Structure 1
């Protein structure tokens, strides 16, 4: 993957959207969309990109790759009131892509929240998307995922009443950490459960320290957007690759099987054996990259 990049800032109806373009200009385009806390810094030359493994294990040299910072997310995109739904976030992204003259897409790769956004973009009338890869995401949320995100918002509301707003966001993130990582992986990594508790709170504190307001929006805006998300799989009339992960509490196998079964052109469905649970889409790229590469080049 080429390390050269160009950053773009585009005004949308919600504010300024930041996007990054990497790879050979004019090559077939690939849009890479991550989870709620992911952004345009997916790949960095020093190896510190948040989705570095995707670019390491997937051969993207022949593609013009785009990433972005969600409006209301943890990156540099600016907005006063973030899009309240997945559809609205996707609409703002589609508008920015149109302004940049980028309407033809070889593949959209979406992980977690990005998988939901990718599904909506694949249906957008102004875009021409040839292929869609959905990792750790599905056409609807499970009841358990909605319950967990509701508790996150309860933490934020209760601590706000006691004048500890950042504490509530940290607790919401701590609960999220429990859902992102697989049961087996946590047990193996932390034989002493107290160490796991320290890890959970440390990661939560780091996120809040980056930007308390933006971190809060991940749970008060992005969370409800995921709860309300619904899309008819039958409407996705393009080749789709679906990848799920063992011990994923948020997007379990039965949901992905339901999703893939209803897709008109499900070209591949792979369930990755991993100890990382939902975060397998970030940490287990070596396991699913060959299938994804084959899908992209079919």
Structure 2
């Protein structure tokens, strides 16, 4: 059984010290799990407040695999913050360096990437074709959409131009939260726009309260990266499983479909009807969980 209890470790990479977490037996085949830019490696906790806690129920009953996750360099958690923002390729290289330090002879059985984690998974598969056996990309694509880039530009403008630095963080996070969810959810969840606005401000204030001014690096070191990356999927031979969400404004289904057409070995593409927008990758695990576990486990059994 994979308990929601992690063993933490640190690895010195060419870009700074990277903190990781391992769940399950250390001798078992490994699956990397990475989430969005505000994620940490604390995927699951006994108290149920892990970053991607909803994913744990899919893997709790297995003891055949271990799961590894990392705090992002420049993100929240205990990894270093580089002096200058890293590229997607450099983030991928840092994780590859850390993985090789603990699993020097074994390829990863899989990579589950939601949002930014899915982008990094594509880069990892492109750069390390012999080191990754399968990749699940959830709510992510090979390039940013114009709409999502504009939303991030406004977040950066708030950080750069707000005279009150803490207020800039709160407003930037509030705008980010607005972009992660759908119009349909806001209509069904809130009785008035005032209530919705107060909720968004609360989410921004909570980020600042829990992480202090280090939360600023989300917008100075990670948000810009998502506007600048472009990954060519055509050379990626790794089997890929795709999941999109119908109301996702950050990784719209049309862009994920474009990714599918460019990948030479896309084994499955699941489109989830969701009111949660981009956050469907966290909220809608039950709707794509069966396809994910089949891709990771049953498909492996069928081909051996």
Q: Does the aligned pair in 2 maintain the 1:73–1:215 contact within 8 Å?
A: yes
Q: Does the aligned pair in 2 maintain the 1:94–1:127 contact within 8 Å?
A: no
Q: Does the aligned pair in 2 maintain the 1:7–1:20 contact within 8 Å?
A: yes
Distance 2:272 2:129 in 1: 34
Q: CA deviation at 1:262?
A: 1.1
Q: CA deviation at 1:78?
A: 2.1
Q: CA deviation at 1:126?
A: 8.2
Aligned CA-pair RMSD: 1.5
1:138 maps onto 2:141 in alignment: yes
Match of 1:114 among 107, 113, 117: 117
After TM superposition, the structure 1 = structure 2 runs for residues 162-177 of structure 1, keeping only pairs within 5 Å, are 162=163, 164-177=164-177
Q: CA deviation at 1:119?
A: 1.1
Match of 2:156 among 144, 153, 157: 153
The runs of 5 or more residues in structure 2 that have no matched partner are 300-304
Equivalent position SS for 1:35: coil
The two structures have a TM-score, normalised by structure 1, of: 0.95
The two structures have a TM-score, normalised by structure 2, of: 0.93
Q: CA deviation at 1:210?
A: 2.3
Equivalent position SS for 1:79: coil
Distance 1:33 1:63 in 2: 16
Q: How many residues align?
A: 295
Match of 2:131 among 113, 119, 128: 128
Q: CA deviation at 1:101?
A: 2.7
Distance 1:56 1:113 in 2: 22
Counterpart of 1:92? 94
Counterpart of 2:11? 10
Counterpart of 1:45? 46
Q: Does the aligned pair in 1 maintain the 2:44–2:51 contact within 8 Å?
A: yes
Equivalent position SS for 2:108: strand
Q: CA deviation at 1:154?
A: 0.8
Moved more, 188-197 or 241-250: 188-197
Q: Does the aligned pair in 2 maintain the 1:58–1:290 contact within 8 Å?
A: no
Write the deviation string for residues 134-177 of structure 1: whole angstroms up to 9, x where unpaired: 00100001111111111111111111xx2x11111111111101
Q: CA deviation at 1:216?
A: 1.3
Q: Does the aligned pair in 1 maintain the 2:73–2:79 contact within 8 Å?
A: yes
Write the deviation string for residues 205-264 of structure 1: whole angstroms up to 9, x where unpaired: 111122343311111221111111111111211110010112111111110111111111
Equivalent position SS for 1:235: coil
The runs of 5 or more residues in structure 1 that have no matched partner are none
Write the deviation string for residues 14-53 of structure 1: whole angstroms up to 9, x where unpaired: 2211101111221121000000000111111121112011
